[in-house]
């Protein structure tokens, strides 16, 4: 069955550093992959989408890579800020639906 | 303001009662989705709809029902048959297959936290 793995342990980093979050998957060949941010008690907010034929996508301080051979996506936040503290979800894209990972909590300390 | 609204934010029910969660969007999106989120878990798809008057079961549809009579609205009923209904319920919408093909972002509502005792 399809499996998506995101680090279950929180990632703690200092302000100004680059945060790198990992999303690994098995038994799946997604056409695209998305990353969302979720704050406690709120709905997720879309951040970035990357398609299977793209290696890298950037948006301001955010960068996502997609390696379909390794079955892995990396999500980077450069120059991280305390306001970046949240849970980040990766989602694999099928034809009409998304399959979400459990998310990784990021904590950025001043 | 365009967006998705869910009401109420908190809902309490007694075991054995059906309850309906509201989801409305004014984004003119064709596709709408219902997810359930439990503590420490990812979002799990309950039902989705790509067009009015049509919907499909997601991964965990048992004990739930939906309707899609209007483009803007996609209410979810949690029936008494759902064994563990206490959860955080999220509604989302996207452009959908008909308008934009696959691979578009989903816009989420603020969620409804349902507690059944």
Residues of chain A positioned with their CB less than 8 A from the CB of B109: 43
Q: Look at residue B85 and tell me whether its pLDDT is greater than 70.
A: yes
The answer, for A40 touching chain B at a CB cutoff of 8 Å, is no
Across the interface, whether the CB atoms of B42 and A101 are under 8 A apart is answered yes
Chain centroid to CA A53: 18
Q: Determine the Cα–Cα distance for residues B91 and A46; give it in Å rounded to an integer.
A: 14
Long-range contacts of A50-58 (CB under 8 A, 24+ apart): A51/B103
- Tell me the pLDDT tens digit for each residue of B35-60: 999 988 889 999 999 999 999 999 99
State residue B1's pLDDT score.
Answer: 56
Which tokens is A42 given? 């709120």
Instruction: Check residue A78 and report its DSSP letter.
Output: S
Residue B98, classed as helix, strand or coil, is helix
The answer, for B47 touching chain A at a CB cutoff of 8 Å, is no
The answer, for A103 touching chain B at a CB cutoff of 8 Å, is yes
Residues 6+ apart with CB under 8 A from A62: A35, A47, A48, A75, A76, A77
Tens digits of pLDDT across chain A (110 residues):
778 999 889 999 999 999 999 999 998 888 899 999 999 999 999 999 999 999 999 999 999 999 999 999 999 999 999 999 999 999 998 888 999 999 999 999 99
% of chain B beyond a pLDDT of 90: 87
CA distance A81 to chain B (A): 24
């Amino acid at each position: 069955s399809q499996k998506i793995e995101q680090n279950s342990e929180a990632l703690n980093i200092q302000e100004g550093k680059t945060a790198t979050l990992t999303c690994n998957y098995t038994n799946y060949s997604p056409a695209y992959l998305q990353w969302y941010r979720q704050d406690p008690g709120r709905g997720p907010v879309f951040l970035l989408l990357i398609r299977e034929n793209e290696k890298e996508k950037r948006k301001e301080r955010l960068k996502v890579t997609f390696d379909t051979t390794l079955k892995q996506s990396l999500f980077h936040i450069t120059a991280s800020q305390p306001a970046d503290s949240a849970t980040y979800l990766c989602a694999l894209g099928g034809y009409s639906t998304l399959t979400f990972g459990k998310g990784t909590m990021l904590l950025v300390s001043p | 303001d365009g967006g998705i609204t869910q009401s109420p934010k908190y809902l309490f029910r007694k075991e054995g009662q059906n309850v309906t969660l509201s989801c409305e969007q004014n984004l003119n999106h064709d596709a709408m989705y219902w997810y359930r989120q439990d503590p420490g878990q990812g979002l799990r798809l309950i039902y989705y709809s790509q067009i009015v008057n049509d919907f499909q079961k997601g991964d965990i549809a048992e004990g739930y029902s939906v309707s899609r009579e209007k483009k803007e609205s996609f209410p979810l009923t949690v029936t008494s048959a759902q064994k563990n209904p206490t959860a955080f319920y999220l509604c989302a919408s996207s452009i959908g297959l008909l308008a934009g093909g696959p691979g578009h972002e989903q816009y989420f509502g603020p969620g409804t936290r349902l507690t059944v005792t």
